[in-house]
Amino acid sequence: MATGQRGTLSLEGIPSARGKRFALVVSEWNAHITDALAQGARDTLVHLGVKSEDIENFAVPGSFELIHGCKVVASSLEYDAVIAIGSVIRGETAHFDFVCQGVTHGIAELNAHGKTPVIFCVLTDDTEQQSLDRCGGKLGNKGDEAAVAAVKMAQF
């Protein structure tokens, strides 16, 4: 869902999420970005009928730790879907590539083998500005899109 290419995200036709429970597992690294993504996801979930008290936040230190955090939360079977929220910004070393590949693979494995859907909301940008554009800036908020995906998967 590339909102930058489609325009504003439309919630028309998205099923109600009333009565569902969601977990947001949020990386503390690049918190100014991940907090904005989490707020976008939370706002969209509420707009789609989820009670605020049915959305829980769980903090992990960085994006790589999202894998374990999501595994623990998803395996509790207390939530209809989990959203993994992180931000990895390219630096001067290969660390970016290893973290991005590891997180992507880890979240994919959770989905392949778990019962609770885990939604991938990890920005993997070359610059901080690209991340800012995607967490409420000119390209919308990818947290909104992750919330829509979570609602659809919770209904699946």
47 is an active site residue = no
Q: Where are any strands of DSSP class E within the chain? A: 22-27, 55-60, 81-89, 118-125, 135-137, 140-141
Residues paired with residue 120 on neighbouring β-strands, in sequence order = 84
- Asked if 43 contacts 144 with a C-beta cutoff of 8 angstroms, the reply is yes
Q: What is the C-alpha to C-alpha distance for residues 49 and 107, in angstroms, rounded to an integer?
A: 26
- Asked if 64 contacts 29 with a C-beta cutoff of 8 angstroms, the reply is no
Q: Which of 47, 68, 95, 105 is catalytic?
A: 95
21-45 per-residue burial string, b: 16 or more CB within 10 A, e: under 16: bbbbbbbebbeebbbbbbbbbbebb
Angle at 109 between CA 63 and CA 81, to 5 degrees: 75
CA dihedral 16, 47, 71, 124 (to 10 degrees): 120
List, by residue number, the catalytic residues.
95
